[in-house]
Amino acid sequence: MLLLDDILLAPIKGVMWIGQKFHEVAGADVSDRDALRKKLLEIQLLYEMDEISEEEYELKEREILDLLEAADRDDELEES
Total Cβ atoms within 10 A of residue 13: 10
Average predicted confidence (pLDDT) for the chain: 79
Distance CA 56, CA 43 (A): 9
Tell me the pLDDT band of 31, cut-offs 50, 70 and 90.
Answer: low
Q: Would you say residue 69 has pLDDT above 90?
A: no
Contacts of 58 (CB under 8 A, 6+ apart): none
- Residue that wins the pLDDT comparison between 20 and 66: 66
Q: Would you say residue 63 has pLDDT above 80?
A: yes
Q: What is the mean pLDDT of residues 42-56?
A: 93
Q: What is the mean pLDDT of residues 50-68?
A: 92
Opening angle at CA 49, ends 46 and 52, nearest 5: 50
